[in-house]
Amino acid sequence: MPSSPLASVLFVCVHNAGRSQMAAGFLGRLAGDRVEVRSAGSLPGDRVNPSAVEAMREVGVDIADARPKILTPEAVQASDYVITMGCGDACPVFPGRKYLDWALEDPAGQGVEAVRPIRDAIRARVEALIAEIDAARGVAREA
């Protein structure tokens, strides 16, 4: 294990209540302390979407204690990767960051049945992101 994270990742969506929280939960679980994880929203909601919490609980990732946070320029500046999920032009851009836009359906107002495929798509993208970070930093992946 590295003594400091290989990279820092910021997940951003409008309310920071669904997609970005699920992505942060997966990255924290799958990458451990190899990657610093942040999430934020351009207009944060009051709480994390209960259907997102339940969908994540089904796969063993607990995001029940997560709280939506406001997107700040400092959070963007402190991140190597900024992954947007529908925050539009509200996300500040700083040189030297890698920006990715993940087009994912918004789980707001949907039941857990509708959130499951969104959750699974997020997990696949997070796994690919971890592989990219590891490859960029020269980390050997375990088989």
Could you give the residue numbers annotated as active site? 13, 87, 91
Residue 65 CA neighbour count, 13 Å, CB half: 2
Cα–Cα dist 23/52, whole Å: 11
For residues 75 and 38, is the Cβ–Cβ distance under 8 A?
yes
Helix ranges, the chain (H): 19-31, 50-58, 73-77, 112-136
d(CA 72, CA 6): 22
Q: Report whether 79 contacts 9 (CB < 8 A).
A: yes
